[in-house]
Amino acid sequence: MTATQILLAALLTPLLSAALIACFLRRRGVLASLLSVAAAAGICAFAFMAIRSADGETIRAAAEWLTFGNFTVSMGFLFDSVAATMLTMVAFVGFLIHVFSVGYMAEDKARGRFFGGLSIFMFSMVGIILADNLIMIFVFWELVGFSSYMLIGHYLDTNEAAAASKKAFIVNRIGDLGFLVGIVYAYWHFGTTNLEAMSSAVAINPGLINAAIAALLMCGFIGKSAQFPLHVWLPDAMAGPTPVSALIHAATMVAAGVYFLIRIAFLFPESVLGGIAILGTSVAVYAGFCAYGQNDIKKILAYSTLSQLGYMSAAFGLGFPGIALFHLITHAFFKALLFLGAGSIIHGCHHEQDIFKMGGIFKKMPITSITFVIGVLALCGVYGLSGFYSKDAILIAAGLDGKWLFMLLTGGAFLTAGYMGRLVWIVFFGAPKSEAASHAHESGVAMLLPLIVLAVLSVIGGWLNVWPEYLAQFIQQSKEALHHVEGYDAMHHTVLIWGSAAWIVGLAGSLFFYGLGAKTDRLEQVAKPVYTFLNARLWFDEIYGFYVAKVQQRLAVLLSFLDVFLIKGIFVRGSAGLVGLLGMCSRSLHVGNLHGYVYWFLAGFLLLWALAAGVL
Amino acid sequence: MTVGLNAFILVAGLLFAVGLLGVLLRQNTLVIYMSLELMLNAVNLALVAFSRYNGTMDGNLFVFFIITVAAAEVAVGLAIIVALFRRRQSVMVDQLNALSR
């Protein structure tokens, strides 16, 4: 098989699986889950084969899809080091999450639909990774949006899930509008949407870089990666099954926004990059604060995801896309681990998600707990674990750039350790605080195996030296660039001290403040206004709710009135009524009696005569 | 003794009036049809009279066409009436009112 065929196989295997499940296996959950897992394993195998056959080269292949006049849309692959890294991560983490789902969803009635959704998601995600032009990215971008919608709404009989899936879909549409306009603008500006063609055009003439295009394309990233101001959908998306949260809303899809930015990094001028850095930093800090006001274990992790996405976009904005990719990969490992761990706990506690109703999990579920804690330590950036290397690099980049971003991002690291510490101390230690938690039991092998593998990856994922050279290439370039910035060594020491201080202070502080296995939130008791403030998350949902219900709704009512009254009432119904009236009048002339017609004829004749004779 | 134009026009007018009244007042389709023919022939008479009076052949020419067309029309019209009677068992106008809603 040629490299292109391998990539095509990697793309189409999950689609085939989804099609088979949709057509034949909707009621056969076991077969559907096996097929879906096999497809995920297939992607893994094809990804490794593709990397072997690429052999350090970039693979390009394209075929025409549609032609309108002289405008051609092509579907093609651009498989370089970045795509290879991302594909490996998605394939591998995706496979582990599929395996986990087999255990987690074992008692679900709609398993066929669930695994079909996972397969269609894998198909769309691989499509985004391999795409070589903006239009193809957009097509698969919408497909991941659809599969996200479908999987968030998996428990479709609960209002929460139904509302959350709609919210995720609609909020993403807002970002995608900007994305779409950006694609059109880019085509108008460059005459192509092919990534490499645009890249070489920009390389020849840097004057072609256009801030408007960059900003418009960034809108897509803001929606998909849940950055401010479109971040509101991600916490709600936790209404979906936990493996979905792990796969789509932590490890892969939301990170696809960052991946997209990395793919089009050459389009960004300094001004937009600066904006992204500030945006990412503010989201990192904002989400860190929000996590303190949450009691749902998945929502805490969701805000943590938001915060880490903020770190990634900050790294990108600071001009180090490789480091953003590095954090994306390590984050995927430990955040998938944390979500799957949370899933295992939720499963063990009979679907209890409130951390204040858990407690004492460590004794009941030792393997889950140990792997979870490894994930927490990796997330907090403990020296030697994966999160340390990537976050360290981001903090150094921020520190070399300026004081404010560094202070804020370091503050974010303190916050991260604090809220993760809060979660760990309350959930795993002390005594069980509810009936469900006291009957917690360790999960089965299908769920523990992915946890263990991901825990190992969370530890070693940051050691770039053990990565295959082809995968690490792009990240190493950015790291090299960072090494050569003046003042790197001094900043490295500063960050080492502050980063270590962050996790030690954060974990110890939360232990001191919340205590082991607390029954209630101490922050809520000690400083009620602060807790309420954090819990309100800056009232974003309320503001949007107000906007939609009061401003937009009224405009919609006005427009609807105009539509009903003016267009429907006067134009459409009015003209129809006029014609109908004419018809009624002329119909009344037809009396159905021969003599009547003769009289009408006579009358018409007289009229004609009168006209001709000039009487009238 | 020569008959003047006025006499011809008078007869033609009377014939036409008889035909028109027949069309307006009679119920039997056949009679209405005959009345129509009467009106046509009234016109023919008038045309011939005018032609004679003017000393040209224009009117006569018209009459030939009218007679020819009327003959064809009679054939078609009678056929329609026969077909109508076969279907409806009646040729009375007051019973042929299917179009009145």
Per the CB < 8 A criterion, the answer to whether A518 and A525 are in contact is: no
Is the predicted pLDDT of residue A581 greater than 90, yes or no?
yes
Is the predicted pLDDT of residue A150 greater than 80, yes or no?
yes
Q: Which among A591, A598, A599 is the nearest to B100, CB-wise?
A: A591
Q: Which among A592, A595, A598 is the nearest to B98, CB-wise?
A: A592
Q: Which of B77, B80, B84 is nearest to B98 (CA)?
A: B84
Matching residue, tokens 């026009």: B9
How does pLDDT run across B50-75, given as a tens digit for each residue?
998 888 988 899 999 999 999 999 99
Banded model confidence at residue A356, pLDDT cuts 50, 70, 90: confident
Instruction: Tell me the average pLDDT across A80-95.
Output: 90
Residues of chain B positioned with their CB less than 8 A from the CB of A592 = 97-101
Please tell me whether residue A191 adopts helix, strand or coil conformation: coil
Distance from CA of A587 to the nearest CA of B (A): 10
Banded model confidence at residue B1, pLDDT cuts 50, 70, 90: low
Q: Which residue has the higher pLDDT, A484 or A555?
A: A555
Please tell me whether residue A295 adopts helix, strand or coil conformation: coil
Banded model confidence at residue A358, pLDDT cuts 50, 70, 90: confident
Instruction: Tell me the average pLDDT across A139-160.
Output: 89
Comparing alpha-carbon positions, the chain A residue that sits nearest to B27 is: A595
**A614 interfacial to chain B (CB closer than 8 Å):** no
Binary contact (A592, B101; C-beta < 8 A)? yes
How does pLDDT run across A184-228, given as a tens digit for each residue?
999 888 888 888 888 888 888 888 888 888 899 988 899 888 888
Rounded alpha-carbon distances, angstroms, from residue A200 to A77, A138, A171, A203, B90: 17, 21, 34, 5, 92
Question: Which residue type is seen at A578?
Answer: L
- φ/ψ region of A131 (left if φ > 0, alpha if ψ in -120 to 50, else beta) reads beta
Name the least confident of A122-126, A171-175, A590-594, B51-55: A590-594
Comparing alpha-carbon positions, the chain A residue that sits nearest to B29 is: A594
Comparing alpha-carbon positions, the chain B residue that sits nearest to A592 is: B100
Per the CB < 8 A criterion, the answer to whether A284 and A307 are in contact is: yes
Residues of chain A positioned with their CB less than 8 A from the CB of B94 = 593
Q: What is the pLDDT of residue B38?
A: 93
Q: What is the mean pLDDT of chain B?
A: 90
Is the predicted pLDDT of residue A405 greater than 90, yes or no?
no
Distance from CA of B24 to the nearest CA of A (A): 6
Name the least confident of A59-63, A389-393, B1-5, B61-65: B1-5
**A600 interfacial to chain B (CB closer than 8 Å):** no
Percent of chain B with pLDDT over 70: 97
Binary contact (A593, B98; C-beta < 8 A)? no
Comparing alpha-carbon positions, the chain A residue that sits nearest to B28 is: A594
Q: What is the pLDDT of residue A53?
A: 86
**A598 interfacial to chain B (CB closer than 8 Å):** yes
Q: What is the pLDDT of residue A140?
A: 92
Q: What is the pLDDT of residue B71?
A: 92
What angle in degrees, to the nearest 10, is found between the helix axes of A159-190 and A211-224? 160
Name the least confident of A35-39, A103-107, A141-145: A103-107
Is the predicted pLDDT of residue B33 greater than 70, yes or no?
yes
What is the value of ipTM here, to two decimals? Answer: 0.81
Q: What is the pLDDT of residue A293?
A: 85
Q: Which residue has the higher pLDDT, A615 or A422?
A: A422
Is the predicted pLDDT of residue B101 greater than 70, yes or no?
no
Q: What is the pLDDT of residue A423?
A: 87
Q: What is the pLDDT of residue A537?
A: 78
Residues of chain A positioned with their CB less than 8 A from the CB of B93 = 593-595
How does pLDDT run across A508-532, given as a tens digit for each residue?
888 888 877 777 777 777 888 888 8
How does pLDDT run across A274-311, given as a tens digit for each residue?
889 999 999 999 988 888 888 888 888 999 999 999 99
Residues of chain A positioned with their CB less than 8 A from the CB of B84 = none
Q: Which among B24, B98, B99 is the nearest to A595, CB-wise?
A: B24
Domains and CATH numbers, chain B: 5-100 (1.10.287.3510)
Is the predicted pLDDT of residue A482 greater than 60, yes or no?
yes
DSSP states along chain B = ----HHHHHHHHHHHHHHHHHHHHH--BHHHHHHHHHHHHHHHHHHHHHHHHHHT-SHHHHHHHHHHHHHHHHHHHHHHHHHHHHHHHS--BGGG--TT--
**A207 interfacial to chain B (CB closer than 8 Å):** no
Q: Which among B23, B24, B100 is the nearest to A592, CB-wise?
A: B100
What is the distance between the alpha carbons of residues A397 and A391, in angstroms, rounded to a whole number? Answer: 10
Is the predicted pLDDT of residue A380 greater than 60, yes or no?
yes
Name the least confident of A8-22, A97-111, A432-446: A432-446
Q: What is the pLDDT of residue A361?
A: 82
Residues of chain A positioned with their CB less than 8 A from the CB of B100 = 590-593
Distance from CA of A598 to the nearest CA of B (A): 7
Run of H or E residues at A73: strand A71-79
Residues of chain B positioned with their CB less than 8 A from the CB of A595 = 24, 93
Distance from CA of A25 to the nearest CA of B (A): 59
Q: What is the pLDDT of residue B34?
A: 92
**A592 interfacial to chain B (CB closer than 8 Å):** yes
Question: Which residue type is seen at B42?
Answer: A
Banded model confidence at residue A124, pLDDT cuts 50, 70, 90: very high
Q: What is the mean pLDDT of chain A?
A: 87
